[in-house]
Amino acid sequence: MSTRPNNAGKFETTFYFIVIFVLFLAMFELMGWARDRSQAAPIDGVRVEERLKASGQIQESAKDQLEKYAYIDETRGQVRVPIQRAIELVVQEWQDPAAGHAKLVTEWDRFNPPPPPPPPEKPSEFE
């Protein structure tokens, strides 16, 4: 025989339903708060102008690098050549593949010397 009153089960069920409902409401409120806090500020006209100016400067710099001569390293004689002239030089040099490869290897060795040898290891104090 049960010692609980007949309406105790209804009370527990209603209580659990209310608790779960309140927890869901709290969860949705926290999700909304997190969404509002994580959104970036809208881009205004000043920021758009800054971005357009920066983009124009980058494009101008890239165009200069592709179309103008400049020194990369004056002491080693490295020069940046316009892209059209570089294509002409490569086609001209590689008419003879063996000579083109030999020149490529020489230039590579000239501009990319091997690293210096590591210093000798110090003897261990335990030897």
Q: How far apart are CA 63 and CA 76, in angstroms?
A: 24
Query: What is the residue extent of each domain of the chain?
Result: 68-112
Residue 119, helix vs strand vs coil: coil
Q: What angle separates helix 97-111 from helix 83-93, to the nearest 10 degrees?
A: 130
User: For 113-127, how does the pLDDT look when each residue is reduced to its tens digit (9 = 90+)?
Assistant: 888 999 988 888 886
Q: How far apart are CA 38 and CA 69, in angstroms?
A: 47
User: For 29-82, how does the pLDDT look when each residue is reduced to its tens digit (9 = 90+)?
Assistant: 999 999 988 887 777 888 888 999 999 999 999 998 899 999 988 888 889 999
Residue 80, helix vs strand vs coil: strand
Read off the amino acid at residue 60: E
pTM: 0.47
